[in-house]
């Protein structure tokens, strides 16, 4: 395929796409947050921090990938956290059955087939949950907001009933994925979970950018009626996106259970809101049609960098090292906002998120 054979094509691609600040805002806020923590945290730029960010972002990235599909077609899935929990619980409960690994998961060795079964069933189940949410959203004409809110409670209830609020063990392979990694040079450690997340995102990216289904997702979100009038089965697109979201939620939930080496009901409580924050922070529109997996990566990295940075920040040391008058220093070191800084971390996380999102929103508004 030569350029000469297609002069028209060459002319067209020579026209640059209009570039606007709003397109780069997510990247800039990531850089800004990294910059601020470089100043505030000792040795922030280290392989240790990078490994920590990768480790912490894997589950979030997997869940946010499915959520990106849902947001792209202008819907939302509020059940991701609890669907993740339910699939981990189903996995744990099955694993402790006598036909699998038995009580505490250690009674006897399980065959590879059993392990595949114990991991596969919850994934299929979660996909079905998403599919049901999608079907009901389409057939009832209600917003997915309401349907998935109900689905959230249904899955939470099922998880409670299955586990009877007890702790369960998970297959060793999940523990490995959740905790092991490959040590590279200079203390850099690539967690297996991060590699899994990368694979999930890569597949999701290829589907979104290079297949018909991916294109239909964008067009359905951009203008559902126009897509429908062009012959796109927009109802099926929405149902499939919600099913995909269930699928990734299950993978995320299983990896998270592996990371924590067990399943219990207190897991994944923040997962939904964190994942939504990541997707939106990356610049994907809540109103559909605009966004990408690449943006979600940026969003996830921004969010985890912020979280890790806040955790690494040592306020007392910062005050001691600062060139402030000694009187102020001793006074501040006694103050409650320093001694109980741990309790303030969610507050700071919220404030920074809010700032970033409001600035993005205003930039997008200015472009239009």
Partner 1 sequence: MPDPTPLLDCRQIGVAYHGVSALVDVDFDVQAGEVHGLVGCNGAGKSTLMKVLAGVVPQYTGEIHLGGLPIRLDSPRRAIAHGIAMVYQELSGIGQLSVAENLFLSRQPRTRFGNIDWRRMRREARQALAELDIDIDVSRPLREFPLVIRQMVEIARGLHSGARVLILDEPTSALSLPEARRLFELMRTLKSRGVSLIFISHFLEDVLTVCDRVTILRDGRKLLTDQSAKLNRRAIIEQMVGGETAAAGQDATEVTLKPESKEPIRLRVDRWTRRGCFTGVSFKVHRGECLGLYGFVGAGHQELLHTIAGAQPVQAGEIRIDNSPRRIRHVADAVEQGVVLVGADRGQTVVRGASIARNITLAHLATSVGSWITTRKEVMVSQPVLEQVGCRPPDPCKPAGQLSGGNQQKVVLGKWLLGPIHVLLLEEPTRGMDVHAKTEIMRLVREQQKLGAAVILASTEPEMLLTYADRILTFSRGQVTAEFSGKLVTKADLMHAAERELERHD
DSSP-assigned letters across all residues of 167-193: -B---HHHHHHHH-EEE-GGG-EEEHH
Phi-psi region of 320 (alpha: psi -120 to 50; beta: other; left: phi over 0): alpha
What would the two tokens of residue 306 be?
A: 């912020």
Enumerate residues 289-308 that contact partner 1 by CB under 8 A: 289-290
1 vs 113, beta carbon nearer partner 1:
1
Are residues 261 and 178 in contact, defined by beta-carbon separation less than 8 angstroms? yes
Query: Of 203, 226, 269, 355, which one interacts with partner 1 (CB under 8 A)?
Result: 226
Return the residue of 116, 229, 333, 351 that touches partner 1, per CB under 8 A. 229
- Does 219 contact partner 1 by CB under 8 A? yes
Site size for partner 1, by CB under 8 A? Answer: 28
Cα distance between residue 301 and residue 367, in whole Å: 25
13 binds partner 1, rule: CB under 8 A: yes
* Assigned token pair, 145: 């907001």
Greatest alpha-carbon pair distance for the chain in Å reads 77
Instruction: Fill in the per-residue mask, 254 to 293: x = in contact with partner 1 (CB under 8 A), - = not in contact.
Output: -----------------------------------xx---
Binding test (CB under 8 A) with partner 1, winner from 19, 225, 334, 336: 225
Residue 325 touching partner 1 (CB under 8 A): no
Residue pair 115/126 in contact (Cβ under 8 Å)? The answer is no
Is 23 a binder of partner 1 (CB under 8 A)? no
Decide if residue 212 touches partner 1 (CB under 8 A): yes
Binds partner 1 (CB under 8 A): choice among 222, 264, 311, 359 = 222
Residue 228 binding partner 1, by CB under 8 A: yes
Residue choice 26, 134, 181, 214 for contact with partner 1 (CB under 8 A): 214
CB 240 within 8 A of CB 230: no
Does 31 bind partner 1 (CB under 8 A)? Our answer is: no
Specify the stretch interacting with partner 1 by CB under 8 A; choose among 86-94, 223-231, 306-314, 329-337.
Answer: 223-231
Q: Which residues pair with 168 in a beta bridge?
A: 263
Q: Which of 42, 166, 180, 209 binds partner 1 (CB under 8 A)?
A: 209
- Residue from 72, 110, 227, 249 touching partner 1 (CB under 8 A): that is 227
Tally the C-alpha atoms within 13 A of residue 77's C-alpha that lie toward its C-beta: 43
Site for partner 1 in 104-143 (CB under 8 A): none
Residue 218 near partner 1 by CB under 8 A: yes
Alpha helix positions (H), the chain: 7-14, 21-40, 47-72, 80-95, 112-140, 144-163, 172-179, 192-210, 212-222, 224-229, 234-260, 271-281, 293-312, 315-321, 326-334, 336-339, 341-367
* Interface contacts to partner 1, rule CB under 8 A: 6, 8-9, 12-13, 15, 17, 209-212, 214-215, 218-219, 222-223, 225-233, 289-290
């Amino acid at each position: 395929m030569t350029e000469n054979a297609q002069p028209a094509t060459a002319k067209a691609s020579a026209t640059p796409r209009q570039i606007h600040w709003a397109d780069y805002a997510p990247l800039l806020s990531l850089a800004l947050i990294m910059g601020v923590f470089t100043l505030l945290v000792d040795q922030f730029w280290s392989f240790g921090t990078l490994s920590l960010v990768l480790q912490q972002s894997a589950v979030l990235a997997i869940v946010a990938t499915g959520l990106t599909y849902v947001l792209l077609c202008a819907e939302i899935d509020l059940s991701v956290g609890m669907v993740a929990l339910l699939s981990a619980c189903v996995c744990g409960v099955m694993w402790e059955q006598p036909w699998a690994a038995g009580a505490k998961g250690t009674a006897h060795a399980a065959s590879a087939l059993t392990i595949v079964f114990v991991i596969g069933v919850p994934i299929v189940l979660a996909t079905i949950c998403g599919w049901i949410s999608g079907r009901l959203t389409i057939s009832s004409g209600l917003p997915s907001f309401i349907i998935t809110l109900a689905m959230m409670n249904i899955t939470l209830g099922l998880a409670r009933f299955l586990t009877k609020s007890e702790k369960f063990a998970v297959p060793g392979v999940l523990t490995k994925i959740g905790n092991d990694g490959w040590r590279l040079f200079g203390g850099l450690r690539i967690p297996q979970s991060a590699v899994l997340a990368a694979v999930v995102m890569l597949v999701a990216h290829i589907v979104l950018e290079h297949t018909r289904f991916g294109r239909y997702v964008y067009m359905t979100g951009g203008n559902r009626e126009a897509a429908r009038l062009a012959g796109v089965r927009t109802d099926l697109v929405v149902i499939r996106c919600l099913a995909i979201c269930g699928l990734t939620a299950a993978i995320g939930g299983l990896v998270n259970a592996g990371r924590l080496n067990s399943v219990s009901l207190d897991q994944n409580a923040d997962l939904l809101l964190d994942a939504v924050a990541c997707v939106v922070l990356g610049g994907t529109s809540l109103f559909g049609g605009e966004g990408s997996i690449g943006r979600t990566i940026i969003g996830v990295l921004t969010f985890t960098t912020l979280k890790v940075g806040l955790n690494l920040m040592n306020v007392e040391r910062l005050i001691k090292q600062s060139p402030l008058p000694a009187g102020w220093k001793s006074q501040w070191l006694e103050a409650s906002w320093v001694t109980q800084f741990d309790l303030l971390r969610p507050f700071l996380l919220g404030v920074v998120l809010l700032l970033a999102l409001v600035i993005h929103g205003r930039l997008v508004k200015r472009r239009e």
